[in-house]
Structure 1
Amino acid sequence: MKPITKINRRRFLKTTGIGLAGLPLATNAITKITPADKIRVAHIGTGNMGSSHIRWFSAFPDVETIALCDVDKLRLNDAKKLLQSRNPSANPDLYSDFRYIIDRKDIDVVTCATPDHWHAMVAIMAFESGKDVYGEKPLSYSPREGQVMLEALKHHNRIFQLGTQIHAGENYHRVAEIIQSGALGKINTVRLWKTGGTKGLGFPPNEMPPEHLDWDMWLGPAPYSEYTPVKCHGTFRSFFDYSGGVFADFWCHIADIMYMSVSPENLTSIDARGEVPDDGIADTPKWIDVDFKFKDLDVFWTTKPPQVPNAENMHIGAHFEGEKGTLTCDYENRIIKIGNETFSDLPEVPKTLPRSPGHQRNFLDAVKSRNQPESNLEYARKMTLPMHLALISFRLKRKLSWDSTREEFKNDSAANFLLARKYRSPWKLPDY
């Protein structure tokens, strides 16, 4: 099947999951998959992470990949070749408009590796059509999108796993066990960091989009912009129209261990500082430092490693400060200090958390059991929210007060305005 680039109005109404008036359409069909069934998967977005999705899911004997979608025909054709190199009998249907995948009743699961500003819309429409979703991080472009995603998931009884692959690893589970055991005492401070930030990308002129790219569909609900390559593949996160820079990209990977370990509650204030590049058109943070105040917990994000032992050699990390000791970790390592002694583990702390069968396997098992996986949407939304709020503080250049119960800023209409954005027509975020 040739990639589809056009869709008429009647087909649009049928396949978007929402009408032009913004009302959900009744397209849901509950998936029932037995343990012996093959799970029929479609991949939406086939670039770098999308290619990883193809590799991961094609390796499972109980998965059949039946469709691929990308707005770039070159990437789409490469994705088909990749799939067939791993499974020569595969013959996936190819699309450049994901709504045709949403419309199909023979697809159980979609994976989403689109640019960030598409994550919510793809997931919501998939939920509405009775499909489960494995979605890449960050969870959503805005806080409001995360709310609607969760409401749609619950309404349609769907399964979702966020692509935080590190979550499934042994190190994160062991860190959480040690901290939850009380061996370090009550944790009062957590320091998170990720080195690096947005580069300016120069001042390239606008161009005509290449023929193999549907630029209008790539933009989707984002504001209209003339095409320049640096706004597209690989560097789109350098622009607030589509994402939030390195900070938005990596927040969930390291904030994840904080939420696994101490489950911070009742965020009350966010104070971000930083700069945007001055040598190009990019506008997401060149560097960003943020102070978060939770109930009984102070959290600090920095672009440079904090001045604590063993952090200087970690390009990303978390440092937990407790009454009895500290723990510093990255994806694979952990360093525990109690008094004058340093440990890599505390053998006396028992294993209390069940281990993952593997991040993608955990999701597929959840699709069959109908029990939510570890990196489920409710957990992911809670963990992602502070990142969004920090970027709002960064853009407004001031400290913000947050009402965790109402999920709104206190007495700040400008900040509350940035909790959501109006979609570019004809796209519209549904209400639930």
Structure 2
Amino acid sequence: MMMKQTRRDFIKKSAGAGVVLGFPTIIPSTVLGQNGKVAPSNRVTIGVIGCGGQSGAAVSYVNYPKSEIVAVCDPFKSRQDRRGDQWGVTHRFTDFRDLLARDDIDAVHVVTPDHWHVPISIAAARAGKDMYCEKPLGVSIEQNLAAREIVEKHNRIFQYGTQQRSSDACRMGIDLVLNGHIGEVQEVHVWAPGGIAEGGDPTPQPVPEDLDYDMWLGPAPKKPYSPDRVSNKGAWYIYDYALGFIAGWGAHPLDQLQWWADAVGLDIPVEYKTEGAIATGPLFNTVHKWDMKATYATGMEMTFQDSITAGEIAGKLPTGRGEPILSHGDGTMFVGTKGWVSVSRGALKASSEEIRRRAKDPGPIRLPVSRNHRGNFVDCVLRRSQPVATLESAIKSDIISHMGDIGIRTGETLKWDPVKEAVLGSDDAVQMMHRPMRAPWALS
């Protein structure tokens, strides 16, 4: 595909050839990066793939001095134009492959419906782009494992969109746990908002003129268009495109669990017993209520529940009451031999004020510090280091969600083989590690 030469490439090539340009000899300091400014040649150029509601957070790249958004992409032309106009971006695409073909884009922000996360991220890696990918990761365990190609084969920078790793409260709470302030961890409780029990209108309607519906569907099965199918709720609660909030929101508190587990060298649980309920349609059909009891190889137990179920049993937890559960929609609670710590978005709670006061100086063991998730990604692209929310950690925490979904759908207690990285159970459970992709889309 022929691409226009960019201004940056023109200057770079001309300088290398010893060409004397007829430019003024007095160059503005902003171009050279003086007075606190960052020279354009030292900024990370970003392409935003997906221009729906969640993409609004990408304005961080506009406000961050080391990055700039240079292209946007969405199957909805109206969404392209909305974000393009908002950010002053002229390069607007319907097909993400056209955006990836540009040589003036360093990295992409993938903020599509879930079924596109891994396929687009892998395509970006193959095109030499780094990526920030919104959570959750894949719509199958197979996709999660295939995503390793991004860093192992192409050596790309990958930031997972679990922004609670850039929260002081969450990081400081886990630091307390790592430094032994609650003693030896005995159990962990994780909760997140559930979904909805029914809903969605599947009545076929004409495809809007500004939508490339086939591109929106991508690797998902071909289904008749309806507005609810391509809405936010459709992208969250239809199984063709997502697992529901067991993954879509569960990714946040599970990520906090895995952040701690990675730090202590603990893999994911090896046994899962999950009960729950699946939405009854007519369109929405993902898990909306769940109660997981999982066991690690060490024998430690973990529970993962929707917030309503968690609230119902909160009084049975070591806190003696439901406050740590009920005060926030999601959270991760570590229970030790000397107390407990609970972290959630913007909140740190502890079993005693003495423990909580130690958060500012917990001890020598410290997790990496990030206070700007997208800024951390940009900085790591520039210095070629992995950011605070790594792909490997994302793979592990996301698999926990899949084990819950598969367990509910099969009604089985499942085992996970950490060596083979495979579900052990019935043929149905093993088969659900895989999800067919509509031609011509494929992982390989």
TM-score range, shorter chain: 0.7 to 0.9
Q: Which runs of 5+ in 1 are unaligned?
A: 1-10, 16-33, 85-90
Alignment of structure 1 residues 219-368 onto 2, 5 Å: 219-235=217-233, 236-263=235-262, 264-265=266-267, 267-278=269-280, 280-296=282-298, 297-303=300-306, 304=308, 305=311, 306-307=313-314, 308=317, 309=321, 310=323, 311-337=325-351, 344-346=356-358, 349-350=362-363, 352-368=366-382
Q: Is the 8 A contact 2:368 2:388 kept in 1?
A: no
Distance 2:176 2:128 in 1: 39
Secondary structure in structure 2 of the residue aligned to 1:64: strand
1:48 aligns with 2:68: no
* Cα shift at 1:251: 1.3
* Cα shift at 1:380: 1.3
Look up the match of 1:102.
Answer: 100
* Cα shift at 1:72: 0.4
Distance 1:402 1:343 in 2: 35
Of all paired residues, the percent bearing the same amino acid is 28
Greater alpha carbon shift after TM alignment, 139-148 vs 192-201:
192-201
Q: What residue identity is the alignment partner of 1:344?
A: R
The structure with the larger Rg is 2
1:195 aligns with 2:209: no
Q: Is the 8 A contact 2:220 2:240 kept in 1?
A: yes
Look up the match of 2:122.
Answer: 124
Deviations 1:125-172 (CA, angstroms, capped at 9, x unpaired): 110111100111111221111211112321111101011112111111
Q: Is the 8 A contact 1:175 1:261 kept in 2?
A: no
Q: Which runs of 5+ in 2 are unaligned?
A: 4-38
Q: Is the 8 A contact 1:135 1:161 kept in 2?
A: yes
Q: Which of the residues 49, 56, 70 maps onto 1:66?
A: 70
Secondary structure in structure 2 of the residue aligned to 1:125: helix
1:162 aligns with 2:160: yes
* Cα shift at 1:198: 2.2
Q: Is the 8 A contact 1:68 1:95 kept in 2?
A: yes
Q: Is the 8 A contact 1:328 1:334 kept in 2?
A: yes
Distance 2:442 2:305 in 1: 35
Distance 1:35 1:68 in 2: 19
- Per the normalisation by structure 1, the TM-score is 0.86
Q: Is the 8 A contact 1:35 1:368 kept in 2?
A: no
* Cα shift at 1:253: 0.8
Deviations 1:331-380 (CA, angstroms, capped at 9, x unpaired): 12222225xx7753326623633421521111111111111101011121
Task: Call closer, same or farther: CA 1:266–1:137 in 2, change over 3 Å.
Answer: closer
* Cα shift at 1:37: 1.3
* Cα shift at 1:267: 2.2
* Cα shift at 1:412: 2.5
Distance 1:108 1:318 in 2: 35
* Cα shift at 1:38: 1.9
* Cα shift at 1:281: 2.4
Look up the match of 2:415.
Answer: 401
* Cα shift at 1:83: 0.7
Q: Is the 8 A contact 1:181 1:349 kept in 2?
A: yes
Q: Which has the higher helix share?
A: 2
Distance 1:250 1:80 in 2: 28
Q: Is the 8 A contact 2:122 2:149 kept in 1?
A: no
Distance 1:44 1:266 in 2: 31
Q: Is the 8 A contact 2:202 2:229 kept in 1?
A: no
- Per the normalisation by structure 2, the TM-score is 0.83
Distance 2:191 2:69 in 1: 37
Secondary structure in structure 2 of the residue aligned to 1:94: strand
Secondary structure in structure 2 of the residue aligned to 1:381: helix
Secondary structure in structure 2 of the residue aligned to 1:189: strand
Q: Is the 8 A contact 1:123 1:133 kept in 2?
A: yes
Q: Is the 8 A contact 1:179 1:262 kept in 2?
A: no
Q: Is the 8 A contact 2:330 2:344 kept in 1?
A: yes
